[in-house]
Amino acid sequence: MAANCACSSKDRDVTTATSAGWDYIIVGAGSADCVLANRLSADPSVRVLLLEAGGKNNSLDIRIPAGIVSALFKEQYNWSYPALPDPTRGDKVDSWSGGRGLGGSSSINGMLYIRGARADFDGWRDLGCTGWDYDAVLPHFRAIETFEGGADAHRGGDGPLSVSFPATKPKLVDTWINAAQACGHPYNPDYNGAEAMGVGVSQASIKGGRRHSAAEAFLKPVMGRSNLHVQTDSQASKILFEEGRAVGVEYYRNGACEEVRCCAEVIVCSGAIGSPKLLMHSGIGPWKTLAEHGIPLLKQIDAVGENLMEHPAIYVKAFTSLPSFNRAGRAYRAPFVLLDWLLRGKGAAAVGTAIAQLLAGPTKEQKAPDTQILLSLVNFELKPGGDGVALSRRDGFSMACCLMTPKSRGRVTITSSDPLAKPMVEHTMLENEEDIEMLALAGRQALEILGAEPLKTHIEEIDFPLQADSTTEDWHAYVREAAFRADHPSGTCRMGADDASVVDPRLRVRGVDGLRVVDASIMPVIPRANTNAAVMMIADKAAAMISEDRR
């Protein structure tokens, strides 16, 4: 409580992080952090410090939606966490993304805005996470958004985040949607509404043709508040404790180690990879791991770093006679594409990575999806070395075929006593045979769409080595060779009612006072959705709980 602070609010200097008198220290400036900073600092009696390891992220790479093809591969924006070889995919070695700088992953993601199905959050409740069922989280989803389609019982109309339809919709989009309907998939004008299943145009966190990151939506409008201080280039290295209570944060800035204290809580929002790392370096985690690196044990919680979840995916591509965004990538057209974005917020540069999507399952009667097919109006290849993409000169498109209900799990661990050393990811993406079969099903669903009218007439070449009726063995072999991560890591500080969970349903770290975790790491099961919308919802709900506990 603020009343217990050593100094009164009028004595506090909020110009530097090391000033005494903070109520809350938020570690990170990603999607959850920006929402928390906005909501908590709305109370002028509360002093909030936000520490971010990265920079301000003001570049065109971030602001232009199409700039993701550049931003994602730059370490100034992406932590690019290392991983061990994955034996279920031929020992493939991944680099795991994590947003760095203001906005975090919302500054480098594909901007697709999708909440997840009712079954996801009701499932959290059924696992003992009281207060996290769909009806309980819906008001927080509504509170964070302004939906272009208008407010109703399911959608918000006055929240900070802009959720919009594509600024440009070439003929190919409706042709693809109609082909999916011909395959028996229902048209869904709003997959974030009452029902998730079906096919329709995508929704994105884009405003006026510009990426509307969590920093743009939630943080920048309140940066002028005198009770909020945002400090960049400050990497947290350890949480400070006194008598078992979190009282501050140690961090590095410009090579120097500094400390800052708070009176109420430390709130860790460093993502599914960064949060368990910080907990372990602070003495919270599996005792064997901490002992191996000489870190004093504060609280043994073996689940820290475990339960790592990810959506696996494969690409199905094609070349088409209809115009796509591939032509926008030609050198002589680039200035015109950029000018269209600059003057009107329109054109290929103003669209997120997915312009339409299908949410489906093995049967048409299902109420919640197992597979997701995302339509992107470019046919591309990764550059050698994996440091970018090369667009084909032919018109084409790509379908990212994703498994939304993976059963395979991994973990995050630390490799050194050095708190600035990157953690290591170990994830066997296709350890569960059912995951392989379901991912193959998503690929077959995509091929079925390519073979349906009115799209079939416009397909010049299918850029994929298999057919829908290829053998199960061939499909499984291809999935193991080609599967990739959808960049949705989650679950490593699992929320639950059992003693083995890391945080309780109010997101408080078990057995430690004054410490919460608020980000994708708390998800007990990954939603049937890209995770950014759910992370912002989690933060909005967490802010309400923190304010309730404070009162």
Positions annotated as catalytic residues are 488
List alpha helices for 312-458, DSSP H.
Answer: 334-344, 433-450
Q: At what angle do helices 31-40 and 532-550 cross, to 10 degrees?
A: 30
How far is Cα 315 from Cα 193, in angstroms, rounded to an integer?
A: 27
How far apart CA 95 and CA 73 sit, in angstroms, is: 10
Q: What share of the chain is helix, strand, coil (3-state, %, to 5)?
A: 30, 25, 45
End-to-end CA distance of the chain: 8
Distance, in Å, from the CA atom of 271 to the CA atom of 80, rounded to the nearest integer, reads 13
184/162 Cα distance (integer angstroms) = 32
Q: What is the CA 507 to chain-centroid distance, rounded? A: 18
CA–CA dist 495, 491 (Å, integer): 8
Q: Are 70 and 388 in contact (CB under 8 A)?
A: yes
444 half-sphere exposure, CB direction, 13 A CA radius: 16
Tokens of 414: 């630390």
Q: Cα separations (Å) of 282 from 286, 290, 348, 506?
A: 12, 9, 45, 21
